[in-house]
Amino acid sequence: LPPAPPARFNFAAHLLQRHAAYPQRPALTDDHGSLTYGALGERVRRCAAALRALGVHREERVLLLMHDGCDWVVSFLGCLYAGVVPVAVNTLLTADDYAYQLRHARAQAALVSAALLPTLAQALHGEPHELRHVVVAGGPAAGAALPTGVALHAFDDWLAAHAPAEAAADTHTDEPAFWLYSSGSTGRPKGTVHTHANPYWTAELYGRGVLGLTEHDLVFSAAKLFFAYGLGNALTFPLSVGASVVLMAERPTPPAVFARLTGATPMLAGRRPTVFYGAPTGYAGMLAHPDLPQRDQVALRLCSSAGEALPRDLGERWKAHFGVDIIDGIGSTEMLHIYCSNRPGDVAYGTSGTPVPGYELEIRGDDGRPLPPNPDGSIDIGDLYVRGPSAALLYWNDRERSRQTFQGAWTRTGDKYTRDAQGRYVYAGRNDDMLKVSGIYVSPFEIEATLVRHPAVLEAAVIGITDADGLTKTKAFVVLRPGAHASAEEIQAHCKALLAPFKYPRQIAFVPELPKTATGKIQRFRLREMEAARSAVAA
């Protein structure tokens, strides 16, 4: 195993030091330009100085609400370098979500993409907040009405106005470094607090140890940087080994991804990624797309999948087409990255592989004890727990949910797993009501609460169904009010308008009533049984 970082450890300073010897090496390429390792280091240190000049102090939080690009990376590492704690948030949320996060994190400043400034401005007119500065990247720092007392800055001018900081904050390795929000089935999202050491561990144990990334790789992640998966994929892993990164602001549609994989954008000018990371839904969308590139049009040596289980058939079809395996592994926001995975050269599709060295797994029974292996070495279905060095410290301001998840050295994953006779772990569903759609958490309860806000809707129940690719999609069963009318499209548009758009139910079924218990509780399991019976008939 790699050495533990020293007690005084700043992850951003660690990355900058590692590459000080070859400043000319390319680090990042986004839709507008590139940064060498030298230029990246300089901008990170300018960003740290500029944050200090705003009066943002050690340990204070800064909202990082940006589309993927060089500025995202500069902002994230600039915060860490200054000992300021970036709260990297999903760019697809609503003003209401950001209002909650700003208040919960007591953010003192926000670093935001110009395109997202109107939503942020709207959030500032909601809940009380402590925000004093908004720094706008990638466009004009104007056009949005900010409350008085909030100053507006333009990212490039702001960096240019400050000489690079001489030294990084003398942070402790176990000090809060950054937050990511993770959704639960009920309640607000959880502010998951990670240390400076955590990204070091994931980069060494998974990025280097399992994926074998080197300075010769050009990596590209369809999963955005604000996801823990994307953050490792396209920032901490490649920058730990001196590799290069392709960053893309737009949604990872198949054509957008194909353009990067084939090096067909003006900024790439023929340079083609060697490593690609995505979620299973993305792989399914690409395989079904008429413009799927041919094998010789790409330069891939490795593909990674996470976020939801990769159906066997998808992996096999991808491998047959490109000649490259997809390495499926399970990770979480709480563990920061993947802790159980297939290996390059040793892939068993339909499984999550074996524990990543440095992590330990237990499958526990209802009594909380590890289930004993059967004579053939397999383990029956139980609750998966993981122990490893990259677990988050806690959920901010949430003792109760922190206690439930972070149990001493062990983290409760919330997943059911079995182990086969070869020692490979096989996903068997979640043990809460959360659904993973396109690799992203959605809560059925949040969708139901939004559905019943539509004037025509009396009640609704949402379940996960399995599509033809073996992937989870949301289906809403809707009971309309007597005499009321609404189309499925209208109900979906209602959800997209009130919720983060990725949460809208993919299918709507109008039903006269919902199955209920004698006490009036909706029986979701009956809806799931009905769906299972329906798809069995269809098949």
Q: How far is the CB of 497 from ligand 3UK (least distance, A)?
A: 24
Specify the 3-state DSSP secondary structure of 474: strand
Nearest approach, Cβ of 429 to ligand 3UK (angstroms)? 8
In angstroms, what is the minimal distance from the CB of 2 to ligand 3UK? Answer: 19
Strand partners, 395: 192
Residues at the interface with ligand 3UK (CB under 6 A)? 182, 228-229, 306-309, 328-333, 337-338, 352, 413-415, 427, 430, 436, 441
DSSP SS3 for 116 = helix
For residue 213, how far is the Cα from the chain centroid?
Answer: 20
Cβ closest to ligand 3UK, residue 82 vs residue 309: 309
Count the neighbouring beta carbons within 10 Å of the beta carbon of residue 58: 13
Q: How far is the CB of 13 from ligand 3UK (least distance, A)?
A: 24
395 backbone dihedrals φ, ψ, rounded to 5°: -95, 125
C-beta closer to ligand 3UK: residue 19 or 436: 436
Among 244, 255, 254, which residue's Cα sits nearest to residue 73?
Answer: 244
Nearer to ligand 3UK, 42 or 415 (CB): 415
Exposed, middle or buried by CB within 10 Å (0-12, 13-18, 19+), for 27? buried
Spatial contact of 468 and 535, defined as CB atoms under 8 Å apart: no
Closer by beta carbon to ligand 3UK, 121 or else 210: 210
Residue number, 41 or 176, with CB nearest to ligand 3UK = 176
Least gap, CB of 427 to ligand 3UK (angstroms): 4
CB of 307 to ligand 3UK, least distance (A): 4
* Long-range contact set of residues 478-482: C-beta below 8 Å, sequence gap at least 24: 478/451, 478/508, 478/509, 478/510, 478/511, 479/510, 479/511, 479/512, 479/513, 479/514, 480/456, 480/510, 481/455, 481/456, 481/457, 482/458
Rounded (5°) CA angle 336-347-355: 40
In angstroms, the Cα distances linking 445 to 9, 72, 89, 351, 435 are 41, 32, 22, 29, 11
For residues 298 and 261, is the Cβ–Cβ distance under 8 A? yes
Contact 261, 252 (CB under 8 A): no
What's the gap between Cα 326 and its chain centre?
18
Residue 535 one-letter amino acid: S
Q: How far apart are CA 239 and CA 377, in angstroms?
A: 39
CB 311 within 8 A of CB 348: no
The CB-of-265 to ligand 3UK minimum distance in angstroms stands at: 26
> Residue 133 or 337: which CB sits closer to ligand 3UK?
337
- The residue at minimum Cβ distance from ligand 3UK is 331
How do strand 190-195 and strand 394-395 relate by DSSP bridges? antiparallel
Dihedral-angle region of residue 18 (phi above 0 means left; psi in -120 to 50 means alpha; beta otherwise) = alpha
CB of 69: closest distance to ligand 3UK in angstroms? 21
Question: Least Å distance between CB 52 and ligand 3UK?
Answer: 30
- Please say which residue, 244 or 472, places its beta carbon nearer to ligand 3UK: 472
Residue closer to ligand 3UK by CB (options 309, 324) is 309
CA-to-CA distance for 262 and 255, rounded, in angstroms? Answer: 11
Is 69 or 331 the residue whose CB approaches ligand 3UK more closely?
331
CA–CA distance, 519 with 235 (Å, rounded to integer):
51
CA distance linking residue 422 with residue 428, whole number of Å: 17
Task: List Cα–Cα distances, 460 to 168, 193, 434, 496, in angstroms.
Answer: 52, 35, 17, 16
Closest approach of ligand 3UK to the CB of residue 522, in Å? 23
Closer to ligand 3UK by Cβ: residue 286 or 336: 336
Q: Which among 114, 296, 84 is positioned nearest to 178, based on CA atoms?
A: 84
Tell me how crowded residue 422 is: count the other CB atoms within 10 A of its CB. 11
Question: Given the complex with ligand 3UK, which of 430 and 506 has the nearer CB atom?
Answer: 430
Distance of closest approach, residue 332 Cβ to ligand 3UK, in angstroms:
4
Neighbours of 59 (CB within 10 A): 12
CA 395 to chain centre: 16
Cβ proximity to ligand 3UK: between 100 and 237 the closer is 237
The residue (of 194 and 454) whose beta carbon lies closer to ligand 3UK is 194
Contact 220, 262 (CB under 8 A): no
State the nearest-atom distance from the C-beta of 333 to ligand 3UK, in Å.
3
Q: Whose Cβ is closer to ligand 3UK: residue 196's or residue 436's? A: 436
Shortest separation between residue 323's beta carbon and ligand 3UK, angstroms? 22
Q: How far is the CB of 490 from ligand 3UK (least distance, A)?
A: 30
Which residue do the tokens 């919720």 mark?
Answer: 499
